[in-house]
Chains A and B, each alone.
Chain A
Amino acid sequence: MIIGRRKLIAGLGAGIALGGCQKILETEPADRLASSLDLFTRDAQRLVTGPDALAREYAPEDRSPDFRANGSRTVDTPEYRRHLANGFADWRLTVGGMVARPLSLSIADMQAMPTRTQITRHDCVEGWSAIGQWTGTRLSHLLTLARISEKARYVLFRCADSFGDTPYYESIDMIEAMHPQTIMAWRMNGQPLPERHGAPLRLRVERQLGYKHAKYVTGIEVIEDFRTIAGGKGGYWEDRAGYQWWAGI
């Protein structure tokens, strides 16, 4: 009974105070201010972080014993099941959009290119982290090979997985795309990339939160603006749940 009353008083007090905050924050000017902070934070972080500053790399023994898989863990389409069954031998990654030389590459083609292996930490927007080793083709190499236009501002990733009927996609800007640790990974912890982690190909963009690391990637599009694509916010979670486009914090 005593706890009930205390809880009631605390609840009323907190409820009034927080309810007031929420009312103010939901007004249009406050919301516009809070939403625009996204890019303000990006600019502030860029001010103190060089374009090529590397994410921390760890030793093999620092890896998570069990790397949590999140988001889509499987792709339930007959097409993907067929690719999985024959070891992704016919999987193609297309590179298109604002490029002078569009590409269509097999996993084997990509494995013959300059690769990078790194043990890095994956940080989910929810708060958890896992450390794993990734090997893949440098995205900057693919973009250079495709000869991207000077007007290009973003790189967009099309994926084979969907939530309901909505396909997953993500986008990053050119600085993160050209970063030395940004790779299209096809190996994880020394094994071919497992299905639950995005086989056969996923993005690793090490200075960004997990939802940017698109899995099951089928296509890369070089673009000037993402506002006309899908929900217009630059990524699946950005469209669906209002996640910040800048995922550096």
Chain B
Amino acid sequence: MSGLTIFNAHPRLYWGQYGANPDYAWLRIGATRGGDGFLRIGSLTVETTGVLGVWEKDGRTSTRAFPHWMTLPSHYSLSEGRKYHFLGAWMLAIAGVLYLLWSLVNRHVCRDLVPRQTEITPGHLWQDIKNHARLRLPRGEAAARYNPLQKLAYLSVLFVILPVMVLTGLGMSPMMNSSWGWILDLFGGRQSARSVHFIAAFLLVAFIVVHLVMVVVAGPVNEIRSMITGRFRLPAEKGDAA
């Protein structure tokens, strides 16, 4: 993706207002003199030759951080990466704001997403975690509603991760820093905003992966049809004749 292309231009993350090569980076992807790729987080170093730091494309070795099959464009071009990134950013911001407004107005958020008191008791949540871990999904009437973990996941993506992505993105803009300086204060500096932007991006990827797995587990045809048309066939209760 385009963000990884941009990261490849400077594969280090810092906390605070400033951060560059002479300063301490809490995360770094690189290559040793011996030609091994590594990922270093704090004092932990993992050898990642072949995937991160050192990898091959068409028989040629590259020492960029993220490999060609993860980046957009697949060759290294900071300017193209940025061009695509801002195109994506504008689409996300415009679609996101419209979606949020519409979901609040039509009460989708209150009706379907905000969990009820009884759903977020520790016992109930623990049961839901166990059900998910065993891939035991609700059947019958219960399948028509979002379950508590699902609600919490959607709410945190909608109201925490996506807004944080947009804010930290704007917080890296020197122009926006002059008008919306509060973003710098909120995240503790431009380099902290950059780190949080990166972490939030990975949380988002994790959410998407889990989300896609759950769609497949729950029956992809029925689920995808319901997303588009709203028609959802309730899975039969256990013991019912199929």
Contacts and interface: CB of A to CB of B under 8 A. Distances in A.
Contact of A62 (B6, B17, B78, B177): B17
Contacts of A54: 178
Interface residues of A, number: 52
A166 interface: no
A62 B192 CA distance: 15
A124 interface: yes
A127 interface: yes
Interface in A19-75: 19, 21-22, 25, 33-35, 37-38, 40-41, 45, 48-50, 53-56, 58, 62, 64-68
Interface in A74-106: none
A121 interface: yes
Contact of B74 (A19, A40, A55): A19
B78 A129 contact: no
Contacts of B51: 7
A223 to B, nearest CB: 22
B78 A123 contact: no
Nearest to A52: B178
B83 A45 contact: no
Interface in A181-219: 206-209
A175 to B, nearest CB: 11
Interface stretch (A134-142, A157-165, A238-246): A238-246
Interface in B70-122: 70-74, 77-80, 82-84, 86-87, 90
A209 B179 contact: no
Interface of A: 7, 10-11, 14-15, 18-19, 21-22, 25, 33-35, 37-38, 40-41, 45, 48-50, 53-56, 58, 62, 64-68, 121, 123-131, 206-209, 241-244, 248-249
Interface of B: 1, 6-7, 9-10, 12, 14, 17-23, 50-51, 69-74, 77-80, 82-84, 86-87, 90, 170, 172-181, 184, 190-191, 194
The 6 residue pairs across chains A and B that have the minimum distance between CB atoms: A248-B175, A49-B179, A66-B22, A249-B173, A128-B20, A127-B10
28 contacts: A11-B69, A15-B69, A15-B74, A18-B70, A25-B73, A25-B84, A54-B178, A55-B174, A55-B177, A56-B178, A64-B18, A64-B20, A65-B22, A68-B20, A68-B21, A123-B174, A123-B190, A126-B9, A127-B9, A128-B20, A131-B17, A206-B174, A242-B77, A242-B79, A243-B78, A243-B79, A249-B86, A249-B173
